[in-house]
Chains A and B, each alone.
Chain A
Amino acid sequence: MGFITATADRLTIRNFTEMASLIRTLGASGFRRFATYRQATVAATVTNSVFGLLRTYVMLAVSAAATAVGATAAGYTGPQLVLYVWAGQGLIGVVMLWGWTDLADRVRSGDVVIDLLRPVDPVFAFLAADFGRAAYAMLTRFAVPMVTGALIFDMYLPHRPATYPLFLVSVVLATVVCFACRFLANATCYWLLDYRGVGMAWAVFSGLCGGLFFPIRFLPDWAAALLWFGTPGPSLLQAPLDVLTERDGWPVQLGMLGVQAAWAVLLLWLCRVVQRRAERKLVVQGG
Chain B
Amino acid sequence: MAERLRIYRELVRAQVRGQASYRLSFTLDLLGNLLFFGSDLLAVLVVFRQVPALGGFTLRETLVVFGLAATGFALSDLFVGNIERMKTYVRTGLLDAVLIRPLGVLGQLLALDVGVRRIGRVVYSVLLLVVALRAADVPLTPVRVLMLVLTPLCGAVFFGAFFIATSTVAFWWVESGELSSSLTYGGRDFTAYPMPVYGTWLRRLFGFTLGFGFVAYYPSLVVLGRADPLGGPAWLSWTGPAVAALAAAAAWLIWRTGVRHYRSTGS
A residues engaging B (CB < 8 A)? 37, 39-40, 43-44, 46-47, 50-51, 53-54, 57-58, 60-62, 65-66, 69, 71, 73-74, 194, 196-197, 200-201, 203-204, 207-208, 213-214, 218-220
- Please encode chain B, from 168 to 208, with 1 for each CB lying within 8 Å of some chain A CB and 0 for all others: 00000101111101110010011001000111001000000
Closest A residue to B205 using CB positions: A53
Given contacts A201-B32, A201-B35, 15 further A-B contacts (CB under 8 A): A37-B175, A39-B175, A39-B176, A43-B175, A54-B189, A54-B190, A57-B202, A58-B47, A58-B54, A61-B193, A65-B50, A66-B50, A204-B32, A204-B35, A213-B39
19 A-B pairs with C-beta separation under 8 A:
A37-B175, A39-B175, A39-B176, A40-B176, A43-B175, A50-B186, A51-B186, A54-B189, A57-B197, A61-B193, A61-B197, A62-B50, A65-B54, A66-B51, A74-B50, A194-B25, A204-B36, A204-B39, A207-B39
When A54-B189, A61-B55 are in contact, do A197 and B35 touch as well, CB less than 8 Å?
A: no
Residues of B in contact with A, size category: 35 or more
Are B47 and A214 interface neighbours, CB within 8 A?
A: yes
Is B52 an interface residue, CB under 8 A from the partner?
Answer: yes
* In-complex Cβ contact of A43 among B24, B179, B193, B202 (8 A): B179
Question: 10 closest pairs, A vs B, by CB?
Answer: A200-B32, A65-B51, A43-B177, A50-B182, A197-B28, A43-B179, A47-B182, A213-B43, A204-B35, A39-B175
Q: When chains A and B are docked, how far (Å) is the Cα of A44 from the Cα of B179? A: 6
For the residues of A in contact with B, the DSSP-based class is helix
Is B7 an interface residue, CB under 8 A from the partner?
Answer: no
Could you say which residues of chain A place their CB within 8 Å of the CB of B43?
A: 208, 213-214
Within 8 A of A (CB), among B47-63: 47, 49-55
Q: When chains A and B are docked, how far (Å) is the Cα of A47 from the Cα of B55? A: 25
* In-complex Cβ contact of A65 among B53, B176, B190 (8 A): B53
Could you say which residues of chain A place their CB within 8 Å of the CB of B38?
A: 204
When A194-B25, A197-B28, A218-B50 are in contact, do A47 and B177 touch as well, CB less than 8 Å?
A: yes
Chain A's nearest CB lies how many Å from the CB of B57? 10
* In-complex Cβ contact of B46 among A37, A47, A214 (8 A): A214
Q: When chains A and B are docked, how far (Å) is the Cα of A147 from the Cα of B183? A: 21
Q: When chains A and B are docked, how far (Å) is the Cα of A107 from the Cα of B189? A: 35
Within 8 A of A (CB), among B13-58: 24-25, 28-29, 31-32, 35-36, 38-39, 42-43, 46-47, 49-55
Could you say which residues of chain B place their CB within 8 Å of the CB of A37?
A: 175
Chain B's nearest CB lies how many Å from the CB of A15? 40
Are A61 and B54 interface neighbours, CB within 8 A?
A: yes
When A40-B177, A51-B186 are in contact, do A57 and B198 touch as well, CB less than 8 Å?
A: yes
Q: When chains A and B are docked, how far (Å) is the Cα of A57 from the Cα of B200? A: 10
Chain A's nearest CB lies how many Å from the CB of B8? 27
Q: When chains A and B are docked, how far (Å) is the Cα of A204 from the Cα of B33? A: 10
Are A218 and B182 interface neighbours, CB within 8 A?
A: no
Are B50 and A43 interface neighbours, CB within 8 A?
A: no
Could you say which residues of chain A place their CB within 8 Å of the CB of B36?
A: 200, 203-204
Q: When chains A and B are docked, how far (Å) is the Cα of A40 from the Cα of B170? A: 12
Are B39 and A208 interface neighbours, CB within 8 A?
A: yes
Could you say which residues of chain A place their CB within 8 Å of the CB of B173?
A: 39, 43
Are A218 and B177 interface neighbours, CB within 8 A?
A: no
Could you say which residues of chain A place their CB within 8 Å of the CB of B186?
A: 47, 50-51, 54
Chain A's nearest CB lies how many Å from the CB of B4? 33
Q: When chains A and B are docked, how far (Å) is the Cα of A44 from the Cα of B35? A: 24
